[in-house]
Amino acid sequence: MRIPKSIVIGGRTYTVEMRDREKDDGLQKCATVNFVWQKIWIDNKTHRELQETSFLHEIIEVINEQNGLKLEHDTIVQLEGALFPALKTLEGDVPEACKVCVVREGGTV
């Protein structure tokens, strides 16, 4: 999945920056979003596939915030996990970890 320098989500342009890992309450994060500044930060030292799933996760966070969906974080994680292999399949690039999921659902790899 290509991670662009900016992305329009719900009519608002978010800048995407690769940078050193963020720390929040002592926990390390692979990505974070700031709704006021309209920025998504992604850890530049994380494995590429984790950067991609984190980017998708933050997009879902923005959609959740913009639309007042009030989705729990666990639900956002589940959506990320379900959407990521589907998006990679559309690109013709099924991640190794997702091939079992695709086969179980009756799809082809």
Residue by residue, DSSP assigns 30-78 as: SEEEETTTTEEEEETTS-HHHHHHHHHHHHHHHHHHHTT----HHHHHH
Whole-number pLDDT of residue 62: 97
pTM: 0.80
Q: What is the mean pLDDT of residues 22-38?
A: 81
Whole-number pLDDT of residue 100: 44
CA torsion angle for 56, 61, 67, 68 (degrees, to 10)? Answer: 160
Which of 25, 20, 24 has the alpha carbon at shortest distance from 43?
20
Please answer whether residues 3 and 51 qualify as being in contact, where contact means their C-beta atoms are separated by less than 8 angstroms.
yes
Question: Domain map of the chain by residue range?
Answer: 6-104
pLDDT in tens, 38-69: 999 999 989 999 999 999 999 999 999 999 99
Which residue has better confidence, 94 or 60?
Answer: 60
In this predicted structure, which of 5-14, 39-48, 70-79, 91-100 has the lowest mean pLDDT? Answer: 91-100
Residue 29 main-chain phi, psi, to 5 deg: -120, 150
- Radius of gyration, alpha carbons of the chain: 14
Residue 101 has pLDDT above 70, yes or no: no
Residue 106 has pLDDT above 50, yes or no: no
CATH number corresponding to 6-104: 3.30.2010
Beta bridge partners of 19: 43
